[in-house]
Every structure is written in C-alpha cells, then in structure tokens.
Amino acid sequence: MERLRVGFIGLGIMGSAMAMNIHKAGFPLIVYNRTKSKTEPFAKLGIPVAESPREVAEKSDVVIDMVTDAPDVEEVLLGPNGVVHGAHPGLIVIDMSTNSPDHARYFARELGKYGIEFLDAPVTGGDIGARQGTLTIMVGGKYEVFEKVKPILQAMGKTIIYAGDVGNGQMLKLLNQIVVGIDMLAVAEAMALARKAGIDMEKLFTVLSTGAANSFTVQYYMPKMMKGDFEPGFRAAHLKKDLRYALETANRLNVPLPGTALTLQLYNALVAKGLGEKGTQALLKLYYEMAGISDG
C-alpha cells in the first residue's frame, strides 16, 4: 500500500527530531518552519521545504504541527496562509503541540468546516525521546482516523495511546505535566537542602535514582543539574504554559490543585528572571538563589 504523504510544521528541539524519524521510516515528507534556517538539515537530504503551511497541506495527506502554543497552532492552521487554504478531500491534521482540551475541540470544529479531519496528539518523553523515536503519544479524535495514521505515529513514538474523543489527548498531556512539574520541584528542593547540609550530590543521586524516589526527572535531568547544565531539552517557559492550561481546566471543573499552583508560581518567577528559554531544570537556580547558594 502506498505510504501517506506527511507534512511537518514546526522544526524546534522536538519537532526536528520527530520529522527526521518520519523521514527515516520511509514516509514521503515535506517540511515548513517559520525560521528557514531550521529547514536546512532537511533540504540537504533532498526533503522538500514548503514556503507556507498552505503549501504543506496541498502536498500532503497528513499534516503534523509541532509549535509552541495555541495561538501558533491557530496561525499555521487557520491563518491567512494556513493549512485550511490548502485543504483537499481526505486531509488529516495532527496537532502534536501542547495546549488545552478546549483548544483541541475548537481546532477540530474549525477544520471540520473545510472537510479536514483532526487529531490532538501531544507527546511526552523530552528531547531524548524525540531523537530516539520513543515518545509517548496521547491521541484524541475519531478512532478510524487514528488507525489510519498510526504507522506515522509509530515512527515517532514507542507508546501510542488512543485517549478517546478530541481533547482527551491534551487532557492526558496536562495531567502528565502536573507530575513533571511537581517532580522537578521536588528534585530542586532536595538538591538545595543537600547543598546547604553538606551532602555529597553523587550520593544523593545514587539514593534517588535507585530507591522509591526514582523518576525520569532524577535519571535524565538531575545529572544535568549537578553539572550546571541548564540548556533546554524542554523549555521552562513551555512548562509554565502547560501548567497554566492545567490550572485553567481544573478551575473550570472545581478541582483544587495546590501543588500545581505553587509549581506554576515558581516557573512564573523563573521566567520573570529571564530564564524562560532555559530548560525546566533551571528551577534549581531559583532554589539556590532563595537558599543563598552562590554557584547555582
């Protein structure tokens, strides 16, 4: 059976690796990125580079977007030169960005006016998961559409979860981000106290990584934090955005989330300090500052 043609919009830290894995899996690919320099690795491989999201849609069966936030998704999908203007029968859009269930339902409604099918399919697993093709992907939308594009998703992820109706993929992702954010807070607090108490950080890492406190944050981010490496695998400003969406949803459903609220405020402080483009692990710098530790 002929492989679906895939268009990929958004070649940031995650998107570039995800698109490259689609190419490696043998799917015909066309890419677009607002900053053209990020398309150069693809052009060097002979992969077509589109001039607009509209062109991506015209030349694809499936369009994937992986951009920063809901306004960016709206621009590439519904904007003046957006995907809707390249709509054709059978076109499927997969939004792999993280925003909110309400946004997912809105995009589905608007695209539906042009006969376009829509799935919300945010991911988790960080930059390492994107590079290795081991992401966890949470998908909301029509099951038959999900089944049609599943081989494409399997090129990017190891665990593919069909979550049900449109919006449920985003809901699962926000729940994931609550745990991710609070876990980072816990690691930063432990490391700050360890420094003040004179505990060897390697010993702390051994305890946390081999006992009940073990987590992806401990395994992947704590070694970076110990070395003072705060460059992004996932940007602090993006986690702040995700936690805000989680709290907005919780407020609407009257669910108290005090831990999430505290974590969001700490990331607000981190962004206010100009560290929003650093990795989420830069939260440690804030804790070191509050504790009077000078070399954080």
Q: Catalytic one among 24, 38, 113, 173? A: 173
> In the 3-class helix/strand/coil scheme, how is the chain assigned residue by residue?
CCCCCEEEECCCHHHHHHHHHHHHCCCCEEEECCCHHHHHHHHCCCCCECCCHHHHHHCCCEEEECCCCHHHHHHHHHCCCCHHHHCCCCCEEEECCCCCHHHHHHHHHHHHCCCCEEEECCEECHHHHHHHCCEEEEEECCHHHHHHHHHHHHHHEEEEEEEECCCHHHHHHHHHHHHHHHHHHHHHHHHHHHHHHCCCHHHHHHHHHHCCCCCHHHHHHHHHHHHCCCCCCCEHHHHHHHHHHHHHHHHHCCCCCHHHHHHHHHHHHHHHCCCCCCEHHHHHHHHHHHCCCCCC
Q: How far is CA 54 from CA 12, 32, 67, 186, in A?
A: 19, 10, 16, 44
Catalytic residue status for 173? yes
Residues with catalytic annotation? 173
